[in-house]
C-alpha cells in the first residue's frame, strides 16, 4: 500500500480508478478545527480494509500520466475498494475520471459526517497543485536523488509492452535488460531501448 488511492502488487503500482484520496503528507481539520494527518489516516483505513479479505484483484482501465497502472480493484470477497473508500469518507469521487460513479457513496459519507467529512479539508487534486514541486513521483526523479536499485524495484515486466507506455529512458533500459520481451523495445539493435525517450 502506497497511500489511500494507490497500492503495489508484485512491484506494479496501481492507482484506483475514479477516486482521489488525501496525499500522504496532507493535513485536514477535524470537527474542532484541529489538524490531523488525513493522508496517513486514509492509507491506514485502506490497509485495514484490504487486510480483511486477500488477495486484491485489479482489472486494468488505463495508464496515467506518470505511467502507473490505473485499475478497478476488489478484495477477494468481491468488495469494491474505491467505492468503500469514498463511502467511508477516506477518498473523494473524482468525477473528472469517474463521471460520477461514486457520487452516491460520497453523498452518503457527507451526510453521515464520516472520514474527511467530519471537518474541513482541501480536495487532494487542489492540494497536489499547490505542492507540485515536492510531489513528483519517484520514477521521474533524476538518478542522483535515488539509486538505480530503488528505481528497478518499482518496475515490473507486466503488463507494459510498448514505448508509449513507458515514462523514461532508464525505465525503458530496465525493461530491455530484465524482461523477456524487452529486446522488442530496441528496434535497431543498438542497445538503446525506446530511442525517443533516451
Task: Give the CB-side neighbour count of residue 98, counting CA atoms within 13 A.
Answer: 22
Kindly tell me if the per-residue pLDDT of 23 is higher than 50.
yes
pLDDT of residue 160: 62
Pair 15, 119: CB distance under 8 Å: no
- pLDDT tens-digit readout, 130-172: 987 654 444 433 333 333 333 334 566 666 667 877 777 777 7
* C-alpha to C-alpha distance for 154 and 170, rounded to whole angstroms: 12
Which pLDDT value is given to residue 167?
A: 73
Does the model's pTM come out above 0.75?
Answer: no
Q: Choose between 129 and 2: higher pLDDT.
A: 129
Amino acid at each position: 500500500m502506497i497511500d489511500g488511492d494507490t497500492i503495489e502488487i508484485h512491484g506494479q503500482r496501481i492507482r484506483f480508478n475514479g477516486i482521489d484520496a488525501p496525499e500522504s503528507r496532507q493535513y485536514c481539520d477535524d470537527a474542532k478545527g484541529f489538524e490531523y494527518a488525513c493522508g496517513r489516516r486514509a492509507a491506514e483505513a485502506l490497509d485495514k480494509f484490504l487486510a480483511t479479505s486477500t488477495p486484491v484483484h485489479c482489472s486494468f482501465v488505463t495508464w496515467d500520466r506518470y505511467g502507473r497502472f490505473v485499475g478497478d480493484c476488489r478484495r477477494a470477497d468481491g468488495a469494491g475498494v474505491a467505492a468503500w473508500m469514498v463511502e467511508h469518507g477516506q477518498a473523494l469521487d473524482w468525477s473528472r475520471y469517474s463521471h460520477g460513479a461514486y457520487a452516491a457513496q460520497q453523498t452518503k459519507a457527507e451526510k453521515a459526517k464520516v472520514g474527511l467529512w467530519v471537518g474541513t479539508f482541501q480536495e487532494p487534486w487542489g492540494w497536489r497543485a499547490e505542492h507540485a514541486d515536492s510531489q513528483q513521483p519517484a520514477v521521474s526523479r533524476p538518478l542522483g536523488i535515488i539509486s538505480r536499485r530503488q528505481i528497478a524495484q518499482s518496475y515490473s515486466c507486466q503488463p507494459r509492452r510498448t514505448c508509449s507506455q513507458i515514462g523514461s529512458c532508464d525505465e525503458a533500459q530496465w525493461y530491455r535488460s530484465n524482461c523477456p520481451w524487452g529486446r522488442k523495445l530496441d528496434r535497431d539493435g543498438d542497445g538503446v531501448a525506446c530511442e525517443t525517450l533516451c
